[in-house]
């Protein structure tokens, strides 16, 4: 490809994906590293009357307008596949998708280094020089998705989980993908439908990988979310529930204390903590407050009152909506308190935290402390939850509506955009847990699910701060609201109180609303089904007790 210092050209299509562009640059850099000679890089655009030098040495990356590219078009069957071949003086680089082009460029750069003579300024490739392959077995295990649309992105979901996003597709193409998956050895484990949106979970033939497929109708996109099964666990549903504790109860624990606006917000705001007692006496815990002994003490007192045996408490699932300190701090406090920790057996941790790259872009700290803390509970499974997945524990069903994956390929704009949204259904009633859903995530929820968001009870989004919306609450159409907020903020935040924010004013006055349960520094348990017959709201004026 290089002879006596003569420079070849790297040519890519005028219109191509970012992956092809990056592969072309990688190849140029590989030649420069191997020989010290920097090749030209250009697209294949030709003005009327322009011709191509058939005798020129060129590396053609992607499906260029050169006749050699057309003649060598490869037929790929799986993602992350590539081929490299020589045709005359053209080196042809083709791939199934952007990850394949990345793999091809890296493989080719290794060959350049192997066959280069830096002193002579020469790269002489052996004949024949034809190669087809893959790098990254996980992605290559997936058959190609047949569509009239195209791949929009290959997104890093964190925890060794990757996601292909295919745009301009439809439900028929999504459903048709089942056949090649089965042919490739994948087995369907579960499927779901929420509104017009479709979901399925598959396991690979060798048991190494789990694939979650998601079709979102409003944007005509399919997401293929694949990860090692060693890094997660499959969603399960209890089949035989022992009814030893009676109907499911939900407790909102208020963690407000020591209000002092001169101190950091973490010293007085309450975070969010819910304790769900299941029919079999186990618990689901949702989030938790800041990392303070006071919060841990309040939590321990609350859950022990609900437990049949306060010395032996089994948590079927501890769910984290996202990794902000007012939602995960209490858990890390518990994990590092051996006297309190020994009371608990945790069976599952369920969450979905994005990649380190996304945390860097948000300028937020990666939640390594959560991963470390989970290791303090031997035998607990860690489940990376995805949209459409359903879990069943002790008479309660958890159904995931959104994780950060439904916002992708956009980068996270705030940590609250990583907040998962899920419902809990028990005793014939549905509670929508919005976590700290940001305005970005709320917009996705509204567009994606519409009236499918309808619920009996709602957990107010982001403590009543920005994130909730009038449209969201209209669609949820709830009659009871759990509000994880302090009393002072409810009445006084910003001089007008959180209760008077536009979205909250609608929530309070919404047609079916019967009760607002403000967390403050109190504790409230309801037994499902919960159907208040009288309107009960916080007092009009701030209580002074």
Closest CA to 204 of 173, 230, 223, 175: 230
**Integer Cα distance of 97 and 99 in angstroms:** 6
Q: How far separated are the first and last CA of the chain, in Å rounded?
A: 83
Averaged over successive runs of 10 residues, the pLDDT of the chain (545 residues) comes to 64 93 96 89 90 88 90 82 91 94 94 87 84 87 95 96 98 99 98 99 98 99 99 94 96 78 60 97 96 92 98 99 96 97 98 97 96 98 99 98 97 96 99 98 98 99 97 99 92 88 97 96 96 96 80
Q: What is the DSSP letter of 107?
A: H
pLDDT at 52: 84
Q: Which residue ranges make up each domain of the chain?
A: 9-137, 141-230, 249-527
Tell me the fold of 249-527.
Metallo-beta-lactamase; Chain A (3.60.15)
pLDDT at 352: 99
- Is pTM beyond 0.85 here? yes
Phi, psi dihedrals of residue 376, rounded to the nearest 5°: -80, 0
pLDDT at 4: 47
pLDDT at 128: 85
Closest CA to 102 of 79, 126, 76: 79
**Integer Cα distance of 74 and 81 in angstroms:** 10
Distance (Å) of CA 16 to CA 11, 135, 160:
11, 22, 27
Closest CA to 525 of 326, 325, 302, 213: 302
Tell me the fold of 9-137.
Chitobiase; domain 2 (3.30.379)
- 308 class by beta-carbon count within 10 Å (0-12 exposed, 13-18 middle, 19+ buried): exposed
Closest CA to 386 of 176, 171, 183, 233: 233
Phi, psi dihedrals of residue 17, rounded to the nearest 5°: -80, 165
């Amino acid at each position: 490809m290089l002879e006596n210092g003569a420079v070849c050209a790297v040519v890519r299509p005028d219109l191509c994906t970012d992956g092809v562009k990056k592969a072309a640059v990688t190849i140029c850099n590989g030649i420069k590293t191997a020989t010290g000679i920097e090749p030209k890089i250009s697209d294949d655009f030709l003005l009327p009357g322009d011709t191509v030098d058939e005798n020129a040495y060129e590396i053609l990356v992607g499906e260029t307008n050169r006749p050699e590219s057309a003649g060598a078009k490869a037929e790929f069957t799986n993602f992350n596949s590539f081929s490299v071949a020589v045709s005359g003086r053209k080196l042809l680089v083709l791939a199934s998708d952007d990850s394949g082009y990345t793999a091809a460029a890296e493989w080719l750069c290794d060959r350049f280094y192997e066959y280069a003579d830096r002193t002579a300024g020469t790269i002489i490739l052996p004949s024949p020089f034809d190669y087809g392959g893959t790098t990254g077995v996980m992605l290559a295990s997936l058959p190609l998705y047949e569509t009239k649309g195209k791949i929009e992105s290959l997104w890093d979901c964190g925890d060794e989980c990757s996601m292909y996003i295919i745009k301009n597709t439809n439900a028929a193409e999504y459903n048709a993908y089942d056949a090649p998956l089965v042919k490739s050895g994948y087995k369907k484990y579960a499927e779901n439908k929420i509104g017009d949106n479709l979901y399925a979970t598959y396991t690979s033939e060798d048991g190494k990988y789990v694939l979650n497929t998601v079709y979102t109708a409003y944007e005509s996109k399919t997401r293929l979310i694949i990860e090692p099964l060693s890094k997660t666990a499959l969603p399960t549903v209890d089949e035989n529930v022992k009814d030893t504790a009676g109907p499911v109860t939900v407790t909102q624990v208020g963690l407000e204390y020591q209000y002092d606006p001169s101190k950091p917000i973490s010293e007085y705001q309450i975070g969010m903590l819910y304790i769900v007692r299941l029919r079999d006496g186990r618990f689901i815990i949702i989030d938790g407050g800041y990392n303070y002994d006071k919060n841990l003490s309040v939590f321990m007192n609350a859950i022990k009152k609900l437990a049949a045996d306060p010395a032996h408490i089994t948590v079927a699932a501890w769910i984290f909506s996202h990794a902000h300190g007012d939602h995960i701090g209490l858990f890390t406090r518990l994990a590092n308190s051996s006297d309190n920790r020994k009371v608990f057996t945790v069976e599952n941790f369920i969450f979905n935290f994005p990649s380190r790259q996304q945390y860097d872009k948000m300028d937020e700290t990666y939640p390594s402390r959560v991963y470390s803390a989970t290791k303090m509970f031997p035998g607990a499974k860690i489940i990376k939850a995805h949209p459409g997945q359903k879990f069943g524990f002790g008479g309660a069903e958890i159904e995931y509506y959104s994780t950060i994956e439904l916002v992708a390929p956009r980068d996270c704009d705030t940590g609250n955009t990583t907040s998962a949204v899920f419902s809990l259904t028990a005793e014939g009633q549905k509670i929508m847990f919005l976590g700290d859903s940001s305005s970005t995530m709320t917009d996705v929820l509204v567009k994606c699910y519409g009236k499918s968001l309808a619920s009996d009870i709602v957990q107010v989004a982001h403590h009543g701060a920005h994130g909730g919306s009038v449209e969201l609450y209209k669609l949820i159409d709830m009659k009871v609201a759990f509000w994880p907020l302090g009393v002072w903020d409810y009445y006084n935040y910003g001089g007008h109180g959180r209760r008077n924010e536009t979205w909250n004013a609608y929530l309070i006055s919404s047609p079916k609303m019967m009760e607002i349960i403000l967390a403050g520094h109190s504790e409230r348990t309801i037994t499902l089904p919960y159907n208040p017959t009288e309107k009960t709201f916080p007092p009009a004026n701030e209580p002074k007790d």
